[in-house]
Amino acid sequence: MQRLLALSLFSLSLFMFSFSTLANDPIETGTFNNKAIYGYDTVAYWTQNKPVKGSEDYITQWRGADWYFVSAEHLAMFVADPVKYAPQYGGYCAYAMSNDSFASIDEEAFTIYQDKLYLNYNKRIMKKWQADKDAYIQLANEYYPNKVTLP
C-alpha cells in the first residue's frame, strides 16, 4: 500500500512538473494542441474587430505554435509582420501576466490598444484590465520576457 501511495505521489509530481513546464511556452496554445489563440485568426481581430475561427487551409508556424487564418490574405499579412498581429504576452491573459502569472484566454475577451492586441481570461477580467490598462501593461511588460524563452 505504501509503495502504491509513493508511486501515485511520484506520478502526480511528474504531472505537476510537466504542467508547469508547459506554462512557460512563449505562445499559449492550451494543454493538448499547438494552436495559437485556439485556432482563431489573429489578423481578423484587426480586420473584422472580432474573433474568427481560422481554417486548416491557411496555417503557418511562428514561435513554436501553429497560427490559423481565414484566408491567404490574412496568412500573408501575418507572415509579413507577425509581431504586429500576434497578441501580446504570447496570447496569455494580459491581466494575469501583469500579476506575474499565466492564464488561458477567452478569444472573445480582447482589446486592441495602441496598435497592439491584448487577450484576457474572460470579459469580466477584461473590464478590470481595461480600467487601468496602462499600469497593467507596464507590469506585464516586465514579467513576460522573464517568464518564457523565445525561440
pLDDT of res. 23: 44
Q: What is the pLDDT of residues 34-54, one digit of tens each?
A: 999 999 999 999 999 999 999
pLDDT of res. 25: 86
Domain ranges of the chain: 23-147
With a cut of 50, list the residues of the chain below it in pLDDT.
4-23
pLDDT of res. 104: 95
Q: What is the pLDDT of residues 11-28, one digit of tens each?
A: 444 334 334 434 478 999
Using alpha carbons, select from 106, 68, 79, 104 the residue that is nearest to residue 89. Answer: 104
pLDDT of res. 149: 80
Asked if 73 contacts 66 with a C-beta cutoff of 8 angstroms, the reply is no
With a CB cutoff of 8 Å and minimum separation 6, the contacts of 83 are none
pLDDT of res. 74: 98
pLDDT of res. 31: 84
120 HSE (CA, 13 A, CB side) = 19
Q: Identify any residues that bridge with 68 across adjacent strands, giving them in sequence order.
A: 59
Using alpha carbons, select from 86, 85, 103, 112 the residue that is nearest to residue 140. Answer: 103
